[in-house]
Structure 1
Amino acid sequence: MSGQGFKSVVYQGETRLGELDVAPASDQSFQFPNNTLPATFYPPEDLINLYGSCLYEFKTAVVVLGDEEIHIVAIPSKQKKSSLALHNLRCLAIVFDLDETLIVSNTMKSFGDKIETLQGWLTHETDPVRVGGMLAELKRYVDDRTLLKEYSENHYVLDNGKMFKVQMEEVPQLSDNREKVVRPVIRLQDKGIVLTCINPEIRDISVLVRLCPAWEDLRSYLNAKGRKRFEVIVCTMAERDYALEMWRLLDPEAQLINSRELLCLCEIWF
């Protein structure tokens, strides 16, 4: 082991590619020595194959060291400066699609449309397996619509005999020009369901949101040990207020995208 770290042998499967200099870092200000990425690989054919596989298949090579992971990222040589900046930040970009991936949201109207469509399909379906799946999906829509109707009309819901009342959640102001917004929210943690209203004055547009089942585990991984491991990018075609509220439900402490970044987003949103 040298004063700056130690060497680790790199394999692709059973093939030895070479040695990688590993430099432990204990703070966020770490920079690669001499602003270079020291590594010695052989034979070159195997390195080229690994590089090409990562670059063209949009993959990273992952090395597990105890509780830590090292991601080896292939970047075109013309982007060397960007590569060094990315490595010095020790942060990779990850892109999410918001609707139908991280969350599935429905209003009373969309529930009605989906229920009507499923009922129409059921009248023509003869496959018992498909019928069973459709009936299960139909029941979920009906149950969820009942919850949403109860929330919209009463400010509470009953789930398995237990009453859940709304909690008034203040939406963080992203600029001084925006009015303070407080939304009535019910979170059913065990079911991964959140009920909210984008505009509290119009209860007819209340929304039932189902979060991605593994979202909490994924969110913890993205921000493991209090360090931001990924630069999160969220794609959506939704309107601004809806998209911001859905993301607030997913990341209430603004750990993945901070308020300053959201403010910049609001300024360019159109």
Structure 2
Amino acid sequence: MSRQMLKSPVWHGDSCLGEAEVFPTRKHQRFQFPNNEIRIARFSPPSERCPPLSIIHTISPFSVLCKVQSLSATDHSPIYRLYLSCFRELKTAIVLSGDEELHLVAMPTKADRPPCFWCCSVPTGLYNSCLWMLNLRCLAIVFDLDETLIVANTMKSFEDRIESLSRRIDDEDDPVRVSGMSAELKRYLEDKALLKQYAEKDSVLENGKLLAVHNEEVPLPSAARETAVRPVIRLKDKNTVLTRINPEIRDTSVLVRLRPAWEDLRSYLTAKGRKRFEVYVCTMAERDYALEMWRLLDPDAHLISSKQLMERVVCVKSGLRKSLANVFQDVNCHPKMAMVIDDRLKVWDDKDQPRVHVVPAFTPYYAPQAEIANAVPVLCVARNVA
């Protein structure tokens, strides 16, 4: 701490609690409280698990601006009572300064010394939101969609994949590889036939049974009370859903394969009566597509409520990398309080890559038994962290 000292009155509401000495740190020698007054606007909620300083160092490192020390060392002074309340209850006194909160953190002090606080700067609202998550033992979890939780195909993408695979089979001499690719091609052809039936007739023939669409009402995120009606067929035994991104345009029909054991993972995220994670989605897909894919994964909106949907499903523009700063730009959550589940690492900003838990890509056509042979990677990662 620097030895340059200022004196400032300490206020809580309309009550003056006394005067304190302010010692700015060497990195912030010009720091001064607004109007040279320490006006406490409110207190943070008590921390149930972590000392306030450790929380601040996690979400806003190197943010100590100054030391605040009472001019009075008596046990009965108002500042001492403020200090004791903050120290015992693991809470901070908050001074407002523009778009930042100045948190006064009560520090351990020798019995014969005046009470002492460290003043730390934190973006407004960030401390309370992270404290709330820590008290609940809850983290943020960010999911990718395509090839992490789902694989989706349109008629066009099926045709492109079938054409490409057919050419590779024609050029391949190894009978073992030809056999594997032929099995993959068969699975593509079967699903393409299902999608064709759905797109043309709003029904599919599955195991000799004709299954018609079920019209599902979908709230429109951009409208307060309006809903759209989507024709949907759910083949639960195959973890497959047929849907239409734009209900009015049949060419937007999509066949979606859901990653096996997603239901187990979804239940686990909110198991035992407590919310283990605050859930977000970050994808490079278009918004209408992303919102419908997430609706198929979370049909009852247990993981992301309909009110939170627009801010929690984040779509990254083509050519840009994903970033947690972008995911959390409209909400108060710090990247250090988050983990990411994605099948690719390099699509994320360098600084966020340590938070990314890379899982094997979901490949239901190339390796359909891979998900059954072992515990689902997505589920394992979430359980290990929780």
TM-score (norm 2): 0.49
CA drift of 1:127 comes to: 2.3
Match of 2:156 among 103, 106, 109: 109
Partner residue, 2:59: 79
**1:95-120 CA deviation, whole Å, 9 max, x = no partner?**
21111111100011100000000000
CA drift of 1:162 comes to: 1.5
SS of the residue corresponding to residue 260 of structure 1 reads coil
Asked if the contact 1:183–1:197 (Cα under 8 Å) also holds between the matched residues in 2, the reply is: yes
**1:109-168 CA deviation, whole Å, 9 max, x = no partner?**
100000000000001112233222211110110000000001111111111112211000
CA drift of 1:263 comes to: 3.5
In the alignment, is residue 201 of structure 1 matched against residue 248 of structure 2? Answer: yes
CA distance in 2, matches of 1:188, 1:257: 24
In the alignment, is residue 36 of structure 1 matched against residue 51 of structure 2? Answer: yes
Whichever structure has more helix as a proportion of its residues is: 1
SS of the residue corresponding to residue 90 of structure 1 reads coil
CA distance in 1, matches of 2:245, 2:55: 41
Partner residue, 1:67: none
- Residue type matched to 2:191 in 1? D
- Residue type matched to 2:172 in 1? E
CA distance in 1, matches of 2:301, 2:46: 25
Asked if the contact 2:138–2:277 (Cα under 8 Å) also holds between the matched residues in 1, the reply is: yes
Q: Percent identity?
A: 64
Match of 2:212 among 165, 182, 188: 165
Match of 2:267 among 220, 225, 230: 220
Runs of 4+ in 1 over 6 A off after TM superposition: 266-270
CA distance in 1, matches of 2:314, 2:236: 33
In the alignment, is residue 91 of structure 1 matched against residue 138 of structure 2? Answer: yes
TM-score (norm 1): 0.68
Structure 1 pair 215/30, CA: closer, same or farther in 2 (3 Å)?
farther
CA distance in 2, matches of 1:265, 1:218: 19
Partner residue, 1:185: 232
CA drift of 1:185 comes to: 0.1
Structure 1 pair 101/122, CA: closer, same or farther in 2 (3 Å)?
same
CA distance in 2, matches of 1:30, 1:150: 59
CA distance in 2, matches of 1:125, 1:178: 56
Partner residue, 2:82: none
SS of the residue corresponding to residue 307 of structure 2 reads helix
Where in structure 2 are the equivalents of 1:134-145 lying within 5 Å? 134-145=181-192
Partner residue, 2:113: none
CA distance in 2, matches of 1:224, 1:112: 41
CA drift of 1:86 comes to: 3.1
How many residues matched?
205
Partner residue, 2:279: 232
For structure 1, the residue ranges without an aligned partner over 5 or more in a row are 1-28, 38-73
For structure 2, the residue ranges without an aligned partner over 5 or more in a row are 1-44, 61-126, 318-386
Partner residue, 1:155: 202
CA distance in 2, matches of 1:180, 1:32: 42
Asked if the contact 1:240–1:269 (Cα under 8 Å) also holds between the matched residues in 2, the reply is: no
Q: Which moved more, 1:111-120 or 1:175-184?
A: 175-184
CA distance in 2, matches of 1:232, 1:218: 12
Computed over aligned residues only, the root mean square deviation of the Cα atoms, in angstroms, reads 2.9
Partner residue, 1:42: none
